[in-house]
Amino acid sequence: MIQRLLDTAGVSFAYDRDTALADITMHVDPGQAVALIGPNGSGKSTFLKGVLGVLPVISGSLKVLGHDRDFNVGGHIGYLPQDDHIDADFPVTLRQVVMMGRYRRLGWFRFPRAVDRQAVADALTVTGLSSRANVRFGTLSGGQQQRGLLARALATKPDLLLLDEPFNGLDQPNREALIATVRELKSQGVGILLTTHDLDLAREVCDSVLLVNKRQIAFGPLDQVLTLANLQAAFGDVQVEVDEHKVVIPGHEH
């Protein structure tokens, strides 16, 4: 049996003792992409942070790469944070940022070797940023920064990739490039968990969906989860807004 990259059973996470997300049972298998969908503030980022070990598990079980959460699997998970907290003046080049993705494999002292430099170069190529490698990170455009951080996640050569709103603010060419990248990674056996508002996108690249709003609404294959009842349960009042995003909801006539 293939090992599950991420496997949770009734797991709950908390911020400062207030439960932020409760009772999630889901899994990500190698070569699979899971879309994490829910309204703003529903706990999507919380779930990613919980998986990363930043937030404590208050109940249930969480296995990452087959290990309990107290095991540090930093070197094997790639993470793309939402790009809204980066100091534009920070004195690092894009290449140095991408190299951060290799830090856990480098440890405290070792200098980067050929394999590390190659991983960085590959990640830059995949994200189409090779020509910008020596530019200060802060001077890149928003879309390029986003891709740069994705390159950092890729440079880790992760088994599991967590992407927080990866399609936010991307123009059409960048969006298509990212979709192609995600497909390519899946074919290599990487498991992907990405948060998004965009149901179309979920359909395009994802195999299953985890629908949340403070707790799990549904988890499973796309067409089984994205039902009107489930979406109403998840989005409630903001369903109109979902429609405005030209989302086609099964069984819902407009």
Partner 1 sequence: MSLSEALSSIFVMPFMIRAMLVLLALAIAAGVIGVFINLRGLEFMADGLTHAVFPGIAAGFALSGQEGLVVGALAAAAFATVTLTLLSHRRVTSDTAVAIVLTAMFSLGVIIVSRSRHVTGSLEQLLFGHLFTVSVTEVLLTAGICVGALLLVMTSLRGQLFSAFDSAGAQAAGYRELTNLLLLNIAIAGVVVSASIAVGNLLVLAILIVPGAVARMWARGLAGVFTGALLFAVVFAFAGLIGAFVVSVSTDVAIPGGAAIAVIFVAGYVLSLAFRLVIQQRRRAAGS
Total number of residues binding partner 1 (CB under 8 A)? 34
Cα dist from 97 to 38, 60, 92, 113, whole Å: 30, 35, 7, 16
Site string for partner 1, 150-179 (x = CB under 8 A): --x---x-----x-----------------
Q: Among residue numbers 95 through 134, which ones bind partner 1 (CB under 8 A)? A: 96-97, 100-101, 103-104, 106, 108-109
Rounded (to 5) percent helix, strand, coil in the chain: 40, 25, 35
Report which of 128, 41, 129, 149 is spatially closest to residue 85, judged by C-alpha positions: 149
Q: Please state the closest distance from residue 116 (CB atom) to partner 1, in A.
A: 12
CB-CB contact of 246 with 254 (8 Å): no
- By CB under 8 A, is residue 36 in contact with partner 1? no
Q: Please state the closest distance from residue 144 (CB atom) to partner 1, in A.
A: 16
Q: Which residue has the tokens 């960085």?
A: 120
CB-CB contact of 183 with 164 (8 Å): no
Judged by CB, which is closer to partner 1: 87, or 253? 87
Q: Please state the closest distance from residue 81 (CB atom) to partner 1, in A.
A: 4
CB-CB contact of 189 with 73 (8 Å): no
Q: Please state the closest distance from residue 176 (CB atom) to partner 1, in A.
A: 25
CA distance 230 to 235: 9
Judged by CB, which is closer to partner 1: 43, or 101? 101
178-187: Cβ within 8 A, 24+ apart: 178/147, 178/150, 179/204, 179/205, 181/126, 181/127, 181/150, 181/154, 182/33, 184/126, 185/154, 185/161, 186/31, 186/32, 186/33, 187/31
Judged by CB, which is closer to partner 1: 108, or 237? 108
Judged by CB, which is closer to partner 1: 52, or 177? 52
Judged by CB, which is closer to partner 1: 107, or 251? 107
Q: Please state the closest distance from residue 64 (CB atom) to partner 1, in A.
A: 11
- By CB under 8 A, is residue 73 in contact with partner 1? yes
CA distance 89 to 106: 26
Query: Of 39, 43, 81, 191, which one interacts with partner 1 (CB under 8 A)?
Result: 81
Q: Which DSSP letter does residue 166 get?
A: T
Judged by CB, which is closer to partner 1: 1, or 111? 111
Residues that bind partner 1 (CB under 8 A): 16, 49, 52-54, 72-75, 77, 79, 81, 85-87, 89-93, 96-97, 100-101, 103-104, 106, 108-109, 136, 149, 152, 156, 162
